Chains A and B, each alone.
Chain A
């Protein structure tokens, strides 16, 4: 069963958790191209959170080209992890900037090289078996 979980005690805002969770499921291939997502009201009710938070997360992922609103089908996944051409140059740059920012955060937070390596390996294993 495809599940999405959030933690209310996490310092990460709920909206960011939703976006990251859905991105993670798409990246892992759990959510594939053409899969339907639940309506905003349903997901908000199940998680007991504000409708607008879910709507904003869907909108952000739609703007990023991962989701789309289709008449009669609701919100569907349009991104796919299997691309023959590979990422575009600007997409690659955006990803590199994101990774660099995460490494900076790790360094500032005082994580050791070994800890960072273990996190990186865990994430690599999660997505590239």
Chain B
């Protein structure tokens, strides 16, 4: 009888992989079109077309891998990791298309975008107030290198020496070799996926932080010091939240589970379950943080409205 965890994992894979591949295209297509000019509109349309074609090609290949998976177990294994294409689809195609279509999408959450007849801005370059220092950057970089090294180190040890679920009664040596091959393939795939996905995320993080620093902070015409302080405090929380969650916590959780999977493969179904729970908790934490920031932003917007109202009252 098949391991229920493995069956559950297969079912989840069949649902999650196409969902993740389709998500960037669907999201980018649904973003309201508020392109700055015709050239931005044309560029957005081009990027969306490339995104649609790339998504269709990736889905077709994935389907091919799933259908041939019964005969070639390696194909099914690759199909299970196919979700990692989400990152290039999202960061390289969907996000640029979204920025062209609607440069300020998401920035108005909880209010706070510039409005009214008279608009004012501080001339301070906020990139110079980035709370993420060079020293702080060493934490995610070292963590990434350590986790990658821990996964890579497994390759120095022999594969297929532990207990394996092979049919040892019929041909024990053939079963052991097949299991060792599968274990080696899984290790190599984990190494490539972790290295490329989190290497890519780490490379994209400075860009994401810069974008967060450039979120609108409309000021009152008099340049209220209190308002500037509230923006600064909220910006700091937002930037550090993004830095620690995407640069440290996420790679730490996924990396640790990847290390456990390659070093203790016989417990792989348990690590999968722990990963699913850990991933859900991370997602929940992200949602709570996002809601907190939105409420915070709304409070600042209300404060600005009060300052604007007070300055417009004659006398």
Report A's interface with B, CB cutoff 8 A. 1-9, 25, 31, 36-39, 41-52, 74
Contact = CB atoms under 8 A, between A and B. Distances in A.
6 contacts: A1-B225, A3-B121, A8-B119, A42-B126, A45-B214, A48-B218
Contacts of B117: 7-9
B209 interface: no
B223 interface: yes
Contact of B125 (A37, A48, A50): A37
Contacts of A47: 114, 119-121, 218
A9 B116 CA distance: 9
Contact of B103 (A2, A31, A46, A51): A51
A39 B127 CA distance: 8
B259 interface: no
Given A39-B214, A48-B113, A74-B127, A1 B118 contact: no
Contacts of A44: 103
A52 B118 contact: no
Contacts, number: 101
Contacts of A51: 36, 103
Nearest to B225: A1
A40 to B, nearest CB: 9
A3 B123 contact: yes
A38 B124 contact: yes
Nearest to A8: B117
Nearest to B221: A5
A41 B124 contact: no
B218 to A, nearest CB: 6
A3 B118 contact: no
Interface of B is mostly: loop
Interface in B107-149: 107, 113-128
A28 to B, nearest CB: 13
Contacts of B223: 1, 3
Contacts of A38: 121-126
A-B pairs with lowest CB-CB distance, top 6: A48-B114, A46-B121, A45-B216, A2-B123, A5-B120, A42-B214
B65 interface: no
B175 interface: no
A115 to B, nearest CB: 23
Contact of B122 (A2, A31, A50, A74): A2
Given A39-B214, A46-B217, A4 B121 contact: yes
Interface string B196-233: 00000000000000010111111101110100100000
Given A3-B122, A25-B123, A36-B125, A46 B36 contact: no
A7 B116 CA distance: 9
B119 A6 contact: yes
B104 interface: yes
Given A1-B223, A36-B128, A39-B214, A48 B115 contact: yes
B36 A6 contact: no
Contacts of A1: 122, 124, 223, 225, 228
B37 interface: yes
A44 B216 CA distance: 8
Nearest to A74: B125
A31 B123 contact: yes
Contacts of B215: 45
A4 B120 contact: yes
**Best-buried of B117, B120, B121, B223 by chain A (most CB within 10 Å):** B121
Contacts of A4: 120-121, 123
Contacts of A9: 117-118
Interface string B169-183: 000000000000000
